[in-house]
Amino acid sequence: MPPKAISFKANSIVYFKGDKGESVYILQKGQVSLNYLDIQTGQEMHDYVQTGEFFGVKAAFGKYPHDETAVVMVNSTVIQFTVDDFEQLLSSNSRIIMKMLKVFSNQLRRIHKQVRSLMSVDEQVDAEKGLYSVGEYYFNNKKHLQAADAFNRYLIYYPAGRYVDEVRRKIEYAESRKDSIESGPSAPVAAPRVEYTMEKALALRDKGNYVEALKAFIILSKSNPDQKILTDFEAGICVFRLKKGNETIKHFTDILKRNPAHSRMGEALYYIGKSYLMLDDKEKAKSFLNKSSSLLDEGCPEQRDAVLLLEQLGGS
């Protein structure tokens, strides 16, 4: 189908949010507004398309639904292209490529601003309680060396914190157990150190042994810098599977702060959203799930689950 000019009257809709993106449009004359909801405030936002600019490209090339509604503000004319026709146009017109870069640059700035906004929300996570919980985790699992280390770090960072008395008591106990393990004749023989590989760690995760898998990913992260991005991400999934909502949020937030252009950002936001749901914070859950569903590949399990959860929460 060759490109065709389509006339729209004021207040017409070129496409709705959620419509499947199959065409690219160039505004020939008039004015078009791309309307979408701010993922944090829920307020409707407007990006105005200038004459000669195109829109609908991201969804058409990505083969997923539009994440905004294109509203015609005054009587307008747009040129509709198929993806193939638009690619041919690009190959022969460098000015179109420059306009494309400009539009994508604006959209990337918008996404970056939204993600930064989301990240600033997460800074409200209680870091003190998080560090205390780490010590608790090791203490309850009789990992006294690690528990003492975590609790001593707590005292360094929070010398007048809420859990100081409890932490001091547990340090004393953990230290006493640590000494008996190191020097006691009846202490159990330490198990030989397990050599982990990525394949073993993933196998542990797939078997549902999230505690051991988490341990494996942490060791691999420290011992294999080249695999740190992957192992840190997989460790976060294990933390989520262990139903530790606050720790999951902090874990993935730290990852995205270190890697603002992380290739699995949609998945990270999905786990953050699910964690907020776990913590019964439905508004934050909706914000993150809504953003993740727009970044994840259409039809992947996480995207389908995010869409389903959003419907259960009353829509995006």
Q: What's the rounded Cα separation, in Å, for the pair 28 and 14? A: 14
Predicted pLDDT at 108: 62
Per-residue pLDDT tens digits of the chain, which is 316 residues long: 578 889 998 888 999 888 888 888 888 898 898 887 765 555 677 788 888 888 888 788 777 788 888 999 888 999 998 888 877 777 777 666 666 666 665 666 666 566 666 655 444 456 777 778 888 887 887 777 778 878 887 887 778 888 888 888 888 888 777 655 444 444 444 444 557 787 788 888 888 888 888 888 888 888 877 778 888 888 899 989 888 888 899 888 888 877 776 778 888 889 999 999 899 888 888 888 888 888 887 777 788 888 888 888 886 5
Predicted pLDDT at 186: 44
Beta strands (DSSP E) in the chain are 4-8, 13-15, 23-37, 44-49, 54-55, 69-82
Predicted pLDDT at 122: 46
Beta strands (DSSP E) in 9-115 are 13-15, 23-37, 44-49, 54-55, 69-82
Query: pTM above the 0.85 mark?
Result: no
How far apart, in Å, do the first and last CA atoms of the chain sit? Answer: 34
Contact yes or no for 31/76 (Cβ under 8 A): yes
Predicted pLDDT at 271: 92
DSSP 262-281: -TTHHHHHHHHHHHHHHTT-
